[in-house]
Amino acid sequence: MSPRNRPSALSRRGFVLSTGLTLLGSALPAATAAAAPAGADGAPALPLAATDPTAIPDPIGVTGSWTRTADAGQRVVTAFESNAVAVSEQRVAANAVLGAMVTVHADTPFAVGSLVVRAAVDGSSGYAAGIDPNLGRVRLFDLATGQDLVPPAAFASQPGTAYHLEVALDGPALRVSVNGTTLLTANDDRYQHGVVALHAYNGTVTFGPPALRTITTNLTGWSTSGGTWTATGTGWRAAALADTNVRAVAGTRAHDVSLRADVLVHDPFAVATLLLRTNPAGTTGYALEVDPNLDRLRLYRIDGNVTLGTHSTPIATGTVYRVRVEAERGELRVHWQTDFIRPDGHAPAITATDTAHASGHLGVQVYNGSASFEEITASDVVTDLQGWRTASGAWFPDLRGIRSDGTVAALRTAPFPGGDALLGADVTLGGSRPAASAGLVFRAAPDGSGGYEARLDFATNTMALVDRATGARLATAAPPVRQIRPGVPYRVEVRAQGTTVEVHLDGVSTLRAAVTGTGGSRAGLAAGPGVACFQNVRVRRPGEYRTETYRPWYHHTQLAGHASDPNGLVYHEGEYHLFHQDQGRWAHAVSTDLVHWRELPVALPFSRFGHAWSGSAVVDAHDVSGLFGGGSGLVAFYTSYHPDRSGGNQCVRVAYSKDRGRSWEWYGEDPVVPNPGGPDGNWDFRDPKVIWDAEHGTWVMVVAGGDHVRFFTSTDLLTWRHVSSFGYGAWVTGGTWECPDFFPLPVDGDPNRVRWVLTLSTGPARHTDGSTCEYFVGGWDGTTFTSDTPAGTPLRADSGRDFYAAISFYGAPEGRRLWIGWMSNWDYAFAEPTAPWKGQLSVVRELTLSSAGGQGVRLLQRPVAELAALRAGTTSRLNVTVTPTSPNPLGGVTGVSYEIEAEIGLPATGAASEVRFGLREKAGQRTVVGYEVAASRLYLDRTASGPSHFTRYFAGRSTAALAPTTVGGERRLTLRMFVDASSVEVFGGDGRAAITSQVFPDPDARGMSFQAVGGTARLVAVRVHRLAGAYRVGDAVTPPPAAPSGGAFRGDLGPLTVTPGGRWTPSGAGLAGTFDKDSDALAGRELADLELTSLVRFGGPDAATSGAGSILLRASADGANGYCLNIDPNLRTVRLFTRVNGSFDDSMLLARVPVLVRTGTSYPVRVLAEGTRIQVFLCGERIIDVVDATFAGGRVGLNVFGGRAAYQDTYARGL
């Protein structure tokens, strides 16, 4: 767009002001909020009635004909008696107000215009508030059904006249206003979160620019008293008069709870406060003050003003802090985080005991000035259902999820129409007042009655399936692993399909029964009188269960979470235990066959000692530790990482389990192996692996130290002696040494020729393609390891990009050495385009040592034989000669989840120079597994495998040396390939070569092929085995609702050059960039003095996606040098710095301004660069004004980092 055609600065200003955003001090006045009166039907009035709104991303039309208007609104034309919906990516949850001018056109007087909140992403459901001039009414209705929530209100509106329509949300309370007058109030619980949408019916409707006001909180039922409360894009700001308190108290009540908020105190004598366990007025209970004047945190009981504890710490006005208060029974703990780059505050700053208040309300308070709060959240249940409704009893958010607590039976349900379901939850019976029973309800009636309950019965120590209509127990069973006792979580899972219901407890199938009722409307939670807690409540239909795009069929993933390093692999009493990292915790799954894994609750959570990083576990069969009273049990050795200490003060601590790994106890207060640097040491010291050395009669522990490993020995598993180290210097050829394993294996199966294998994972390092898995073979004399190969010559265990942190199982039957790895790479860990999970694990592999091949002793790995149980049909091609012109011998063979066994013959003369398998093929997509004959090289090429825009170093080729064998003068190549929805694992020959890679092809990329290049090859035998899903329930897939695509970017930057990678696409939020690291989109023209304006937004349409970004000024053509205006909601800061040679450090920082910016909100940004002066305005307020002469001119650009950033209405004008 040429400069003369771009919108003028005035029109852009008009747009910004029309959405309620402010420029250059033109702030809208805040309203005074008094104690809110109740609505006509008891719905509380909402504290967001008059606050500063923000713009929302453009709605994208799903149905109807939508056109953006000159004032940034929308005009829609619908057909006769037809609906039209346009959906914005703007999400709303507990508290929000959406408003817009709505005009039904005079030439279609029978039309209706509505605002929709908490809508489905495809606009199929949500709360709709509509103006209907024809019938003279305003409605509040369910968009999915058309059902009115309350009777419509009479309102005489005229076609052709604009009316300001507003719908407000506060939990289940809804309010609809027109021109500032409340017409409808309602309480309804069917939708708790969703997106914003516009709806029209039967004609032409114009909507003015929609504007949103919101508080980021999961608390509801707010009432404010005193002062002014202003909900802005940079926090909920409260202003109190001198020497007075103003409070906002939520209707939410809790007993044991964590309350967190990010706090910014604006005035030097103001005090910001969190309230918990208070009365409705906030005048009794507990409070935590953040006081910059006294540089002090103070925890006190409000009634009586009793100080319970203080903490002296520097507190600056205008700075963001994260504060969290935990109340657990009579103990109160205060956590204080001051650093968002290296988060601290793990250890409590204040710990106090007080029993005056066991439960109460939650809220915030400000004294003697102004302060802002952002993300006011209480601990609560994690669930994929919404529309929860309490049918009976009392329910509260809790540290352990959602809590039932009372003297009567409790029931809480949510809509789940249909009969077939897979339900799961972690159920904990209260410690001091346990409920007699607690369970999962399914196939219930609309009012919550009837259906069935999988009941954990404490009173009878049984698991039962109960017909709730009759009270009959259809099946009962004793708990398969441990007795039912209070205070520990039990994983309860239900699979209800047709007339069959199966219940698992603690990961074990416990009961199975036939039922007669196969339909229902609701699912939920039930508990007897007393206390029970429920967490991780998941309910899916069979077609939705583990069927997401890229979800593996037979590789282990968590249902939701971030899986990484395998930990604590151990076989015990008939079960294989797979622990693995989940963001500093040990997640847990069990299996009896190494193929079908069942998830259990987190085994090692965060604790007072810090995070539980990687480690191992063993069976203490003879109680050498003394922890099991003469019995046996599991002992886990984990890396304790304390976020508050330098380098985490990494050390080895112990936890142990007496009940087959279902619950764990921490051992002692001190580590069993401290950091080598001492009590405050910051050395790399992690990932302990423990093994029993039968030859020398001792336990051996190996711990990684960054550039070496340390060996320790013990006789009791608790007292360890350092005996030697291995590594340093030339031994280190990759990145940091991590995740060691150490074990003996016989060479060629000969028990008299035993060598020891030391495996390591290294990374991150660019010269080793990010991450590698290496190993050494050598000797062990009980104290010292000696490698058979010299320094600088590590051996690759897997030549692919995605095999890391592999360790082996302790105690596998029949002396098998089995290991498993994390399929990822530190170049792009957790950046993969998957949701709601990140990270998958390889198939389990069996390890052996071989001296064949003339290159010394080498590690061989073969997929375990147990995988053959998944085979569900085989297609074979036998003795087929293939030339470069032959038709595809695998034509017509398709699949997503399969195994290929291939033996390929290469003749003595005229042989192909290369052979290739094409996997997961469709037009433009394929993963190639090939073999280069002259080089004896196996390779996997994923360049065209599917999307790779999410990271820089994903696409490419991995190779491994593989010599062929010879049979009757014909060279033979043997391959085994395991293909899944998002991975390929290739094993060459006898397992000497392995290549593991993630791939992300489209779900319909199902083809496969074989080619011979430059000559002839013979398919001696190729067998394609279809592999059934180890986790899926049948082959049916129910696709989730799809958000509309499209959108347009408005601006005058011209064509943009993207470097070094990433995807930049137009969306309703503007030009949106996605990338895991820095991605720049640079304009071609150069400017020196300039004014730049943009509407900037971070995060994705889904709540899980975050991101940060920068506006680049006076940048070089490659973006490596220039000014960066960085806005980072994760760090709660706006920074201006110089970028030199593609990087920056603290010395290049020109300005840093703490701001409560957040994801999911659009911010107007204006930059003025005149000579050496640079000014930055956010939401109309000047926040940066600096002088710097580093760069005089250059290009303008946009940047995204670590997620998604979007830019709209972006204009740069030379001055």
Dump pLDDT digits (tens) for 555-571. Answer: 999 999 999 999 999 99
Last residue of a domain, one of 349, 378, 407: 378
**Residue with the two structure tokens 């149980």:** 869
Does residue 1047 fall inside a structural domain?
no
Q: Indicate whether 462 and 333 sit together in one domain.
A: no
Does residue 11 fall inside a structural domain?
no
- Position 970 scores a pLDDT of 96
Asked if residue 405 lies in contact with residue 396, where contact means CB atoms within 8 angstroms, the answer is yes
Does residue 1129 fall inside a structural domain?
yes
Q: Indicate whether 62 and 130 sit together in one domain.
A: yes
| Cα–Cα dist 477/459, whole Å | 13
Whole-prediction pTM value?
0.94
Strands 837-838 and 561-562: parallel
Q: Indicate whether 880 and 756 sit together in one domain.
A: no
Q: Indicate whether 1013 and 1141 sit together in one domain.
A: no
Grouped pLDDT means (10 residues each) for the chain, 1215 residues: 29 26 25 31 43 84 97 96 97 97 98 98 98 98 98 97 98 98 97 98 98 96 96 96 97 98 98 99 98 99 98 98 98 98 96 98 99 98 96 98 97 95 97 94 97 97 98 98 97 98 98 97 98 98 94 97 98 99 98 98 98 99 98 99 97 99 98 96 98 98 98 99 97 93 98 98 86 97 98 95 98 98 96 95 99 92 98 98 98 98 98 99 97 98 96 95 95 98 98 98 98 98 98 85 94 97 97 97 97 97 93 97 98 98 91 98 98 97 98 98 98 97
Query: CA gyration radius for the chain?
Result: 32
The pair of three-digit structure tokens given for residue 342, joined into one six-digit string:
């290296």
Exposed e or buried b per residue across 690-699, where buried means at least 16 C-beta atoms within 10 angstroms of its C-beta? bbbbeeeebb
Asked if residue 1137 lies in contact with residue 1199, where contact means CB atoms within 8 angstroms, the answer is no
Q: Indicate whether 492 and 469 sit together in one domain.
A: yes
Does residue 615 fall inside a structural domain?
yes
The pair of three-digit structure tokens given for residue 756, joined into one six-digit string:
């020891």
Please give the single-letter amino acid code of residue 630.
G
- Position 1039 scores a pLDDT of 86
Q: Indicate whether 264 and 281 sit together in one domain.
A: yes
Please give the single-letter amino acid code of residue 79.
A
Strands 965-967 and 223-225: unpaired
In DSSP terms, 364 is beta-bridged to 248, 274
Q: Indicate whether 373 and 343 sit together in one domain.
A: yes
Does residue 552 fall inside a structural domain?
no
Number of domains observed in the structure of the chain? 6
Active site residues: 565
Q: Indicate whether 585 and 630 sit together in one domain.
A: yes
Q: Indicate whether 361 and 407 sit together in one domain.
A: no
How many CB atoms within 10 Å of residue 816? 17
Dump pLDDT digits (tens) for 352-379. Answer: 999 999 999 999 999 999 999 999 999 9
| Cα–Cα dist 700/715, whole Å | 9
* CATH code for the domain of 952: 2.60.120.560
Last residue of a domain, one of 807, 829, 851: 829
The pair of three-digit structure tokens given for residue 1188, joined into one six-digit string:
């710097």
Asked if residue 810 lies in contact with residue 691, where contact means CB atoms within 8 angstroms, the answer is yes
| Cα–Cα dist 163/876, whole Å | 70
The pair of three-digit structure tokens given for residue 826, joined into one six-digit string:
């530190």
Does residue 843 fall inside a structural domain?
no
DSSP string, 860-916: EEEE-GGGGGGEEEEEEEEEEEE-TTS--TTTT-B-SSEEEEEEEEE-SSSB-SEEE
Q: Indicate whether 423 and 451 sit together in one domain.
A: yes
- Domain of 1062 in residue numbering reads as 1056-1214
Asked if residue 272 lies in contact with residue 318, where contact means CB atoms within 8 angstroms, the answer is no
| Cα–Cα dist 318/335, whole Å | 20
Q: Indicate whether 679 and 817 sit together in one domain.
A: yes
| Cα–Cα dist 1141/1176, whole Å | 24
The residue among 685, 681, 689, 678 whose CA lies nearest residue 708 is 685
Q: Indicate whether 1062 and 1023 sit together in one domain.
A: no
| Cα–Cα dist 121/1134, whole Å | 31
Does residue 330 fall inside a structural domain?
yes
Does residue 1023 fall inside a structural domain?
yes
